[in-house]
Structure 1
Amino acid sequence: MTTQNGPAAAPAGGGADPVLERLKGLHPKVIDLSLDRLHRLLAALDHPERRLPPVVHVAGTNGKGSTVAFLRAMLEAAGLRVHVYTSPHLVRFHERIRLAGRLIDDDRLAALLEECEIANGGAPITFFEVTTAAAFLAFAREPADVVLLETGLGGRLDATNVVERPAVTAITRISYDHRQFLGDTLAAIAGEKAGILKPGVPAVIAPQPAEEAWRTLAARAEAVGAPLVQWGVEPRGDGFVYESGRRRLELPMPGLLGAHQIGNAGVALAVLDQLPFAVGEEAVRRGLAGVEWPARLQRLTRGPLAEGLPVGWELWLDGGHNDSAGEALAVQAAAWEAAEPGRPLLLVYGMLASKEPREFLAPLAPHVQAMRTVAIPGEDASLPAEGTAAAARACGIPDTETAESVAAALAGLVERHAAAGRAPARVLICGSLYLAGTVLAENG
C-alpha cells in the first residue's frame, strides 16, 4: 500500500512506529486531496501553521527536493537555523522532518503524533495530513530562522498549502506525474502546482520545458498578484553563472551531480535573494559544495551491494521516475560516455504501476547495454518485473531480463558481463524513490 508521498510500510523507528501504524487506519482512502480535514485538525491544535518562522514553500514535479537541499545547505552554511519538511522518506519516516538542522528524534515525533491523534478525535484524516500537522507543531515550538516546506503532491490542495502567507514560493520544473490526481496535460498539472502562489508573495519559477506550463504559471501569478522574480543561470567552464536583479555570482558546479542541478541551484539562489536576511557568497559556495540529497545520482561505494561488485565497477542510485528524470539521466549517461567511452552502462530498474516506464526509459535506451528489472520489494503498487522488462524491450534496450531482487539483478549483470571479459561497468539502479529506499536500507 502506498500513502500520499511515502511508503506505508517503511519503519519510523523507536516509539513513533506504533503511532504511525494507528494513523494509517484513520481514513479509508490512500490519497484524498482536500484541505478541510487538516484545517479542522489545525484549529484543534490552536493553529501552529500561523506561528512559524518565515516559510519558503516549494512545489514542482522534478527538482523540488534538490532545491530544498540546496537551500538548506546554503542557509546552514550562513549559520541560520533551518526547519525542513520533505517527502517521501527513503528508509525511515523521521527523515521527513528536520528541526533546526537535526532529524527529529523518535520520542519527540511519537509525542507530537499522539498529540495530533488525540486532537483529531478519531475523525477521518489522511496519513499525510496528520503527519503534516505534527511537523507544523514541531516547527512552531522550536526556534528557527526559516522553514523549508516541500509540497507532497500538487500544490493547490496539498496539505502544506494551509500556510496562508509564506515569505517566498518556488515552482520547479513541471512534468507528467500523478496524472490521476493532477491532470493529463502539462497545463493542468501546472495549474495545480500554481495553487501555492499567494498575493504579494514573491514567486521564483524555474524555466519550463513546455510553453503551456510556463503560460499557466505566469497567468496564475498575474491573477493572484504574485510578483515573478527575474533570475537566470548559465553553464560556464567548470561552473555556472547566476544572475538576478540583486547580484551576479560566478560559482563552481554544485555538489549534486547532473547538468539539471544547475537549474535547481538557480531556483534556490533566487529564493535566497528574496528572504529577509543576507546569505553571502562564501556561504553560497560552501553550501553548494557540501549539499547532500540521497538517491539523486548518488554513488554507492560502501555496503554489501557495492562491495559485491568486481574491482573497477561503479554503483549508482537515482530515484527519478518520470519523463523529465529519464531525460536528465540520459544527459548524464552521455557525459559518462564522453569521459569514459569504453565503460558500459547497465541498469537495474523497478517502477510503480502508476508511472509510465516507456516515457522514463526512452531517453535512456540508447545509452544502456543491458538491464535487469525487479518488482519493488514490499510494494503492492509496483509494476511486475516482467511488465517493466517488456517496456524496456519496446524501447530497444538489449539483454533485458527479470530478477527476483536487486542483489540477484546485480549478480546476473556481473555474471554476464564479467564472463564476457568486458570492461568494468557502471550500474545504475533507478526508476523509483521506493526502490531507492529499499536499496539504501539493504546496503546499510
Structure 2
Amino acid sequence: MGTVETYRQLELNLGDDWQFTPSKHSRVGMLKEILSWIGHPERRLSVIHIVGSNGKGSTGVMISKVLVSAGYRVGHFSTPAILTDREVVTINGQMISEKEVMYHYKRIMVEIKNHGGDDKTLTKFEMWTLIALCHFAKQEVQFAILEAGVGGTGDATNVIESPLVVAITKISDDHSEFLGHNLLKIAENVAGAIKPGSLVVNYPGQDIEVFKILHEKAEQVDATWNPYDKPKITLVRSSPEGLVLNVDQLEGLKLSLTGAYQANNLSTVLQIVTILKNRRISIPDVAVAEALAHVKITGRMEFDSKNNILYDAAHNPNGITSLVATIRSWHLPFKPTVILGLVKGKNTSEMLDELLPYVSTIIAVTPDSKNAMSADELAAKIVLTSDVDVEIADDSTAAVSLARQVRESSKALIVVTGSVYTLRAIEKEGI
C-alpha cells in the first residue's frame, strides 16, 4: 500500500472530530510517558504556548508570521483543521507532508504497542499533538507555537514542561461542560499551563477576577508576569479588508485581519514580541509591519472580497458577539445573509439572541461534526424566537445553492459561521 493510501487510512481511523473527549483523570502524564519513550522531542523546542477560550488562532498566526518575517524557522500547531488534517502542523506556513505524518505516526505507534497500547490509545487531538512535537524537533525549528485545544491543565499541549512564553488569550465560559461551570473554574484550568520559569503575557481587558487567578498562579510557580508596558493601540479604521491602527509611536500600521477585536489579540502578540526582544531575539519593526500587513487565517474573519463572503468560525457567544460588533462597525447597506451551523452544548440561545437582530436571512445547515445540531432543530429554534427569514439546507451543496441565489438578488454580504465544522462543509463545496 502506498504512502497516500496509508495516510488516507490514518485520517479515516482518527475520524473527523477534533472535539475534546472528557476524562475523569488528566491524560497529560500518559502523554509525557509516551514522549519519554521516543526521546522527549518536546524538550528540544523553544515553545510559545497559547491558551485561552477565544483568539488563540489569531494570536498564533500573527506571532508565527512575525517570527517567520524576522527570519526564523517556526513550527505552528493549530486545530481544528478545515479541509485536511495536515493543516494543523506547519513550518513557515508549509503543511507537513503525508510521508512525514506517517513517519512520526509509525514511530509513536511502535512505542505505544511495545508498551501494551493500540491504535485507540490516543485521541485524534493527542496523536496530532505528538506528531507536531516530533516533527518540529526533527526539523529543528527555532520556535514552536502550540495552541491548546481546551483549557490548560488537562490539554494534550500541556506536556510542555518549560515553555518559553505562555500567552493567555481571552477566557470565556466556553467548554464549561469540561472545565467547570463558571468563569473562575475555567480560569483555574487554563492557569495550569503556567509553568515555573515561563514568561507570561495576558490578553488586555481580561475579567478582573480571572486576571487575579492567573497572576496568583504565576507567582505560585515562580513564572515571570510580563514586566513591560502593554502597547497603546488606537483603531483608526475597520473594514472587511482589515484594520488600520496606531501602535505606540507607529502610525498607520496595517493589519490584514478584519474585526476590531483583533486589536486586543494584536496587543497579546506585541507583548510576546517585546519579551522576545528583551531576550535578545532580533525582531525588526519592519518585519512586524510586513507580517501584520499580509497575515491571513483560514476560516477566522476571512473575507473573500471577490465574492463578498466572510468566513468566521465563531463558535461560542463571545465569538458571535465579536462577529456582530465587527459587522455593525462596517455600516453595511444591507443586513447580511448568514449560513449558520451550530454544535450542541454551545449556549445556542445566547448565540442566537446576539446574532439574529443583525441579519436578514439564516440558511441553517448541519455542521460536519458528530455533535452537530441538525439544520431542522436550529431552524425551529430560530422560528420560535425571531421573525428572521429561515431556509433549511439539507446539505452543504444546498446551502451553497441558496447562498448563490441570495447573491444574485442582493448585494448583501454572505457570512458563513457558527463552527469550524460549518466552514469545513461549506469550504468543500465553495461558493
Q: How would you bin the TM-score normalised by the shorter chain?
A: 0.7 to 0.9
**One-letter code aligned to 2:51:** A
- How much does 1:437 deviate? 1.6
* Deviates most, 95-104 or 182-191: 95-104
Counterpart CA distance in 2 for 1:301 and 1:236 is 22
**One-letter code aligned to 1:388:** L
Match of 1:359 among 338, 347, 350: 350
**1:115-264 correspondence runs (5 A):** 115-121=107-113, 123=117, 124-208=121-205, 210-229=207-226, 230-238=229-237, 239-243=244-248, 249-264=250-265
- Per-residue displacement from partner, 1:81-130 (whole Å, max 9, x unpaired)? 11111111111111111134421111111111111111111513323222
Partner of 2:398: 408
**One-letter code aligned to 2:273:** L
Contact 2:65 2:291 (8 Å CA) reproduced? yes
Partner of 2:309: 315
1:69 corresponds to 2:69 = no
Partner of 1:349: 340
Q: Which runs of 4+ in 1 moved over 6 A?
A: none
Partner of 1:310: none
- How much does 1:17 deviate? 2.4
- How much does 1:235 deviate? 1.8
Unaligned runs of 5+ in 2: 238-243
**One-letter code aligned to 1:261:** Q
- Equivalent residue pairs, number: 408
- Per-residue displacement from partner, 1:235-273 (whole Å, max 9, x unpaired)? 242433445xxxx54452411100011111111111111
Match of 1:368 among 352, 359, 372: 359
**One-letter code aligned to 2:302:** Q
- How much does 1:410 deviate? 4.6
Counterpart CA distance in 2 for 1:190 and 1:167 is 21
Match of 1:425 among 390, 408, 412: 412
Contact 1:347 1:372 (8 Å CA) reproduced? yes
Partner of 2:240: none
Partner of 1:385: 375
User: Identity across aligned pairs (percent)?
Assistant: 28
TM-score, normalised on structure 2?
0.88
Counterpart CA distance in 1 for 2:112 and 2:175 is 28
CA RMSD for the aligned pairs?
2.4
Contact 1:39 1:162 (8 Å CA) reproduced? yes
- Per-residue displacement from partner, 1:303-359 (whole Å, max 9, x unpaired)? xxx5xxxxxxx22211111111111111112123x2x3x323111100111222222
Q: SS of the residue aligned with 2:50?
A: strand
Partner of 2:43: 50
Counterpart CA distance in 2 for 1:120 and 1:438 is 33
Q: SS of the residue aligned with 1:273?
A: helix
Partner of 2:283: 279
Counterpart CA distance in 2 for 1:147 and 1:412 is 42
**One-letter code aligned to 2:418:** G
**One-letter code aligned to 1:333:** I
* Deviates most, 357-366 or 262-271: 357-366
